[in-house]
Structure 1
């Protein structure tokens, strides 16, 4: 099976796929990107053992303004593109910037304003997941 790379060339995919974990290049790059823009209360949820989960991991953080929410999301996309050569499958919420979601299929990044994070309580909704705090 072949995939189209960012440069427009075809790359052969390996049949042995590497499972995403907290030591994966993508995970570490996203974490570094949110930390660079001073995101607060950063946690990751390991969803791999939850059959209903839509991704392997959620990375959840918050920011104190819409400007900071957008800056974090933009930095995640830029760093992942530079380091991992990946573009997000999609992103949502950039207009209102109360809750921005950046979806990399296996890892979904949630960037909240504090009030919105309290309202949706993703950590409680996915309480079966292994939660890890990141400084």
Structure 2
């Protein structure tokens, strides 16, 4: 499977995990057209509390493992659950508390990338 196809399957599994636990305001930042980036894609969402942020990240890890059998390469932020990063190589998931998301404004930092809002599942 090509890298772009692998990333697409991984992104779908990540989104499924976020939807399972009702992550808020999900966006996909496609960084592939930008030179010298750490990865090809960011998925960004937020939760309503540290417990919700923690639950979103844990559910994504379990869902990705369940659907495609892949483990996260690196994780950071579980201790305070203000901003949890899950690094899957070409795809990084950022799960914030809402206030921290507004403060760090990753969407604004990467405004020259292709940004897609992901609709909430009903």
TM-score, length-scaled by structure 2: 0.93
* Deviation of 1:52 (Å): 2.1
Maintained 8 Å contact 2:46/2:96 = yes
Q: Distance in 2 between matches of 1:133 and 1:87?
A: 25
After TM superposition, list the pairs within 5 Å mapping 1:1-135 onto structure 2.
Answer: 18-20=2-4, 24-135=8-119
What root-mean-square deviation, in Å, do the aligned CA atoms of Structure 1 and Structure 2 show?
Answer: 1.5
Larger gyration radius, structure 1 or structure 2: 1
User: What SS does structure 1 have at the residue aligned with 2:34?
Assistant: coil
Maintained 8 Å contact 1:20/1:106 = no
Structure with the bigger percentage of helix? 2
User: What SS does structure 2 have at the residue aligned with 1:59?
Assistant: strand
Deviations 1:41-96 (CA, angstroms, capped at 9, x unpaired): 10000000111211110000000011110110001100111111111110000010
- Aligned CA distance change for structure 1 residues 87 and 74 (closer, same or farther; 3 Å): same
Structure 1 portions without partners, runs of 5+: 1-16
User: What SS does structure 1 have at the residue aligned with 2:3?
Assistant: coil
